[in-house]
Chains A and B, each alone.
Chain A
Amino acid sequence: MTTPVPPDLEARGVTKRFGPLTALKDVHLHLRSGRFHALLGENGAGKSTLVKCIMGYYRPDGGEILLDRQPVTIRSPRDAQTFGIGMVYQQFTLIPNMTVLENLVISKARLNPVINWKEEQDQLTQFMAQMPFQVPLTALVSSLAAGEKQKVEILKQLALRNRILILDEPTSVLTPHEADEVLGHLRAMTLAQQLSVLIITHKLREVAAFADEVTVLRKGQFAGSGKVSEMKISQMAEMMVGSEITAKPKQRIENSTKTPKLLLRNIRVNDDIGVEVVRGVHLTIHEGEIVGVAGVSGNGQRELVEVLAGQRPATGGTIHVHDELYQPTRDNILRHKMFCLPEEPLQNTCVGRMSVAENLAFRNFDMEPHAVGGWLMNRPALRRSAHGLIERYNIKPPYPDTPIQSLSGGNVQRAVLARELSAEVNILVVANPCFGLDFLATEEIRLQIVAARNRGTAVLLVSEDLDEILELADRVVVMFNGQLVYETTSSGADLALIGRHMTGHST
């Protein structure tokens, strides 16, 4: 293999708009030849958008991409490959019931109609021998551990002779040990000038240990860059989350009686594939208090909320509500008035093909006046209640018989708010309530949550948006790797400290 140095890649002044939303504004990134470059930022900071602009998924609205200082136009990921740029995605793209050899062969851009497996195997064996790490070619992908699969993903890009490798959170599915091994190999290849690496990550530890240079994005804008050796961890964390608190706390009444409403003790939860992702959460929430759970997504927040909502069984620990052991049965939910505003309400808490009136009644369809005698549905009463809520919460279009799936996202969220908040609520579990909503809907929904708190509701707010938490919460806890690792009041919040705990760098 002849080895000229990998090309120099630069994104200059890249801007990308989606409708009215500016996802990237005048962003710079310079990946020098043979460097290990980290791209840091919170959820929604624009990291993925920037990388997708480089890979040719998106056409940027402004700015240019340069390879070896020459402007280039990359039209598609396949086009990117002709420039020697390859990408490893967050989720595996391997075919599990095929061998490593088969996976590597089918990823080729051009395949002969008849595959000469002998020849392919010889070539790949030769290629594998030159690599700093190996995976047995005959192994079935489904039998490999996550770290090995990630290696195959990387080998796949290298076998395609890509010289610039972009990795989108490559370690999120790996154990720390596997992550160190994979990143160590990549580091060695960059030191040997065989490869340039651009890695998207939240984990400051990995940046400090492996990267040469770092670029930080915040809210779609360039927030800083530099050599890792010349920067302090705290500086990077500060660039990520900003240095000043811009969110103004909502007006609140000081009414917390310090009566505990919701007690979580040592909650443990597995994800869909049986990996423990919530690992002993302890938390108490009092009357008239909003507790915000901050954290980078994927640290167990979703599963924790699902347990409280009754969508997933906990594998350990106890939930106490009003000093009683709590199971999310319909009786308990209604007796304790513990309700939920989950993210993506249409998928999580509505039946899309049922009408707005029916969806509004999910909490009380089995009670008078909606159910006569507790069993016979009274449809006219259901529609009357719906009319009232539609008017009070300004749901559009104002027709109770419209299927709820034909409403806009903001109106679906309003309908769910109307359902969960219109009656008395003791405990409210909220997860990313404003995700994907515009400014006005966001404001309105946040005001409703604070209003509920001022009426004495105990609120658990899980959000990936740190500003939202600082705006709404009385207390902030940080969730990392399935545990609550840091707690502070929002008035005394130190952003740099929160940022460090969110990225797992607590010392």
Chain B
Amino acid sequence: MPHTLNKALEPFLIIVGSLSVSMVLFGAFVAAAGANPFEVYQTMYRAAFGTSFSWQNTLIRAAPLMLTALCTALPGYLGLIIIGGEGAVVMGGLFAAIAALTIPDASPMVVLTTMALAGMAAGAIWLAIGGALRHYRAVNETISSLLLNYIAIALLNHLVTSTFRDPESLNHPSTHHIGEANMIGLIPGTDLHWGLVFGIVACILSWFLMHHTVFGFSSQIAGGNVRAAQIAGLPVGRLILIVCCVAGAAGGLAGMVEVAAIHGRANDTLNANYGYAGILVAFVARNNPLAIIPVAVLLGGIRASSGLLQRVHELPDATVLVMQGIIFLVILFSETLYGRFSRMPKQGAV
């Protein structure tokens, strides 16, 4: 059966091809900016994967991307294009910090658990709003989830400059610190915090949920053809809400990790574009949660290399964002290529 080979090979070839095209385009860009593209790529490799320090740097950036990519990838199984990962991260981080501050005297384990639950719940509700608007009111979920990002950011800015402001955070309005004792800590023997483990476990669990459970199978039917799902009697609305909640919980967890492992407080650093980069990761991974892991590492590496690019080649900090944008465009374009290279077996006679 030739097409089963194609089925696996086609996405792989198209994605590798798109990444190569992106590298050529970005090379032309840096050449135009006056740098040698080959040296730039060498530097990027060194900065991302050259040493154990750069690996750690890359993986720290990859961890939140794994979680935010799930915000787009999981609803994708139901045929929804949700780009509200940024909002889920912000809401997750904000409410995780608030939760920690409401129980100052609890033990660190209790505080961290409460923070995780609060963050995941906030993210879940945030994405579920977009899913519910889609299913019950036919509002375009892409637009609504995008706009909800801005609302989340505005809410964060409002709360850290008013109700929850730490008076000592002068130039950088933030909540109070959650307390050093409550920080999440590192994986023993490394400089990596536990967020990476959360990301990998979440991706594996998501993959298992969508590919090996009755729930995932139902979601695939509903995402593939709503009419077929209705004839099978599947509760399409409930499936959409649950999947959006799971996806939002992943984003909320990413926000909680940002607070509990890195910043110690909620402030506008939560809004660091991990949500938007996660969309790119999900697209490149074609919504497959297992493929998200390596793609997130790759993109984490690209983002980790920005500092060194600036120092060695005097390229501006935003150069890596240009690369990210080029990859995004080429991947979007490559979506039109599916089915053009594989030769399906001719329709059999009746």
Residue A392 at the B interface, CB < 8 A? Answer: no
Q: How far is the CA of A328 from the CA of B229 in the complex (A)?
A: 12
Q: How far, in whole Å, are A406 and B345 apart by their CA atoms in the complex? A: 8
Q: How many whole Å from B45's CB to the nearest CB in chain A?
A: 37
Count of inter-chain pairs, beta carbons less than 8 A: 103
A 361-401 to B, binary, CB cutoff 8 A, 1 in contact else 0: 01101100001001111010000000000000000110101
A348 to B225, CA, bound (A): 8
Closest to A347 in B: B227
The listed residue (A348, A396, A410) touching B228 by CB distance below 8 A is A348
Give, as a whole number of angstroms, the nearest-CB distance from B260 to chain A. Answer: 32
Interface contact A311-B231, CB-CB below 8 Å: yes
B220 to A, closest residue via Cβ: A354
List the B side residues contacting A440 at CB < 8 Å: 350
Please measure, in the bound complex, the distance between the C-alpha atom of A438 and the C-alpha atom of B350, giving whole angstroms. Answer: 8
A182 on the B face (CB < 8 A): no
Residues of chain B within 8 A of A441, CB atoms compared: 350
Give Cα A362 to B233, complex, Å.
10
A363-B232 contact in complex given A311-B227, A376-B214, C-beta closer than 8 Å: yes
B: contact size bracket: 20 to 34
For A332, the chain B residues whose CB sits under 8 A away are 233
Contact with A along B313-350 (1 / 0, CB 8 A): 00000000000000000000000000000001101111
B338 to A: closest C-beta gap in Å: 11
Q: Is the CB of A407 within 8 A of B233?
A: no
Contact B233 A328 (CB under 8 A): yes
Residue B34, interface by CB 8 Å: no
Q: Are B1 and A402 in contact (CB under 8 A)?
A: yes
* A-side contacts of B211, CB under 8 Å: 377
Chain A residues with CB below 8 A from B345, complex form: 397, 402, 406
Contact of A406 among B228, B230, B347 (CB under 8 A): B347
Q: Is A437 an interface residue (CB 8 A)?
A: yes
Instruction: Say whether A288 faces chain B, with CB atoms less than 8 Å apart.
Output: no
Chain A residues with Cβ under 8 A from B215's Cβ?
375
Could you tell me the distance between the alpha carbons of A410 and B3 in the complex, rounded to whole angstroms? 21
Closest partner residue, chain A, to B228 (CB atom): A349
- When distances are taken between beta carbons in the complex, the residues of chain B under 8 Å from A334 are 233
Q: Which residues in B have their C-beta under 8 angstroms from that of A309? A: 230-231
Instruction: Tell me if A407 and B348 are in contact (CB < 8 A).
Output: yes
Contact of B214 among A328, A366, A403 (CB under 8 A): A366
A425 to chain B, nearest CB (A): 14
CA distance A310 to B231 in the complex (A): 6
Contact with B231, one of A348, A352, A402 (Cβ below 8 angstroms): A348
On whether the beta carbons of B350 and A409 are closer than 8 Å, the reply is yes
Chain A residues contacting B4 (CB-CB under 8 Å) are 401
Q: Does B224 contact A (CB under 8 A)?
A: yes
Within 8 A of B (CB), among A318-366: 328-334, 340, 342, 347-354, 358, 362-363, 365-366
Asked whether A333 and B233 contact (CB < 8 A) given A377-B213, A401-B1, A406-B345, the answer is yes
**Once bound together, how far apart are the Cα atoms of A351 and B220, in whole Å?**
9
Q: In whole angstroms, how far apart are the Cα atoms of A440 and B350 in the complex?
A: 8
CA distance A313 to B214 in the complex (A): 26
Chain B residues, Cβ within 8 Å of A362: 221, 228, 231-232
Interface centre among B1, B214, B225, B350 (most CB of A within 10 A): B350
What is the bound-complex CA distance between A434 and B348, given in angstroms? 18
A82 lies within 8 A of chain B by Cβ:
no
For A408, list chain B residues within 8 Å (CB). 347-350
B237 within 8 A of A: no
Shortest distance between the CB of A462 and any CB in chain B (Å): 15
| B233→A396 contact, CB < 8 A | no
Question: Is B234 part of the binding interface, using a Cβ–Cβ cutoff of 8 Å?
Answer: yes
Verify if A411 is at the interface (C-beta below 8 Å from B).
Answer: yes
Residue ID in chain B nearest A338 by CB atoms: B233
Which residues of chain A have C-beta atoms less than 8 A from B349's C-beta? 396, 408
CB distance from A132 to the nearest CB of B (A): 42
Evaluate contact between B234 and A342: CB separation under 8 angstroms.
no
Cβ of B232 to closest chain A Cβ, rounded Å = 5
Min distance, Cβ A446 to any Cβ of chain B, angstroms: 15
* Chain A hits for B217, CB < 8 A: 358, 365-366, 377
7 A-B Cβ contacts within 8 A? Answer: A342-B231, A349-B231, A354-B220, A374-B214, A375-B214, A396-B349, A441-B350
Interface pairs A-B: 6 shortest CB-CB: A351-B224, A330-B233, A410-B350, A333-B233, A311-B230, A366-B214
